[in-house]
Amino acid sequence: MPSRRGLTFLETLFASALLALVAAAVFGALSFVLGRQHHEQRTLAAYELANRIILQYLDDPEQLPDQSLPLEYGKDRFRWTLSIDPVTVTAASEAPKDAADTRRSMLDRVKQVSVRVWLGEETGGTREFDASAAHPKASLTRIMYPMAYRNPDAFDRLINSDAGRRRLFDDMTGGNDRSTPAGARPPGPAQPAKPNRVAPKSAPKPAGSRPNLRPPGGGS
């Protein structure tokens, strides 16, 4: 019977090196997929926080958390900013002078609420917003009219507090804009309306833990 030929040392070495290369490629691809999944979950968390901040501002701007403190979402901490800018709205059709003046007065009250949320420096991000950074971040913008209250509960809270009644009076008379929360950027120059930048009614909700709009340490 013919003898069976065994593997030489070089063949064994080559097979081992090839197996190591294949294993490295598989583990590298798996690590990339897991990293992207983690990044997308953090991005969804940032969008949910941004949406909740806008809704909180529309309900009661006095109850917004302090912008100098981070927001917790699970194990991550996010920084955020909110700004309110005037929006120039042009009527689509001509109207009689009195009606045009009334419409103009109403349209001049339209505001643009913009919120930016990004991963904070404590969990791998930055303290200040950086549009060029690769870390998770979100930007939402919503066009609002001060007299269009989001729901009956928001209106009830408004009329049941002294600050809310003053804000309601200002909204009705046009004496003042909707209160700007502490730390928010003051209104800038008028900007044309951009309907395509209006934020969706709800942001995607990531799986896992719920967001916490209270800063770490129990601050308000």
CATH of the domain at 81: 3.30.1300.30
Residue 51: HSE in the Cβ half-sphere, 13 Å Cα cutoff: 16
Do 118 and 79 touch, CB atoms closer than 8 A?
Answer: yes
Q: Is residue 3 a part of any domain in this protein?
A: no
**81 lies in some domain:** yes
Do the domain assignments include residue 141? yes
Model pLDDT, residue 186: 42
User: Do the domain assignments include residue 129?
Assistant: yes
User: pLDDT of 86-111, one tens digit each?
Assistant: 887 776 666 565 555 555 556 677 88
Which pLDDT score is estimated for 205?
Answer: 46
Q: Which residues contact 180 (CB under 8 A, 6 or more apart)?
A: 61, 84, 186, 187
SS3 148: coil
For residue 1, being part of any structural domain is answered with no
* Predicted pLDDT at 86: 83
**21: Cβ–Cβ under 8 A, 6 or more apart, which residues?**
none
Residue 32 domain boundaries = 9-205
- Residue-wise pLDDT for 41-53, tens only, equals 999 999 999 999 9
For residue 200, the model assigns a pLDDT of 41
How many domains is the chain built from?
A: 1
Query: How far is Cα 115 from Cα 73, in angstroms, rounded to an integer?
Result: 17
Question: Residue 75 contacts by C-beta under 8 Å, 6 or more apart in sequence?
Answer: 123
- Cα 31 to Cα 34, 36, 123, 148, distances in angstroms: 5, 9, 19, 48
pTM score: 0.61
Which stretches of the chain score pLDDT less than 70? 1-6, 91-107, 146-151, 153-155, 157-158, 164, 167-220
State which amino acid sits at residue 211. P
Strand-pair category, 76-88 with 71-73: antiparallel
Does residue 193 sit in helix, strand or coil? Answer: coil
Residue type, 106: M
Inter-residue contact 182 to 145 (CB < 8 Å): no
Place of tokens 């969990």: 123
Provide the pLDDT for residue 143.
Answer: 87
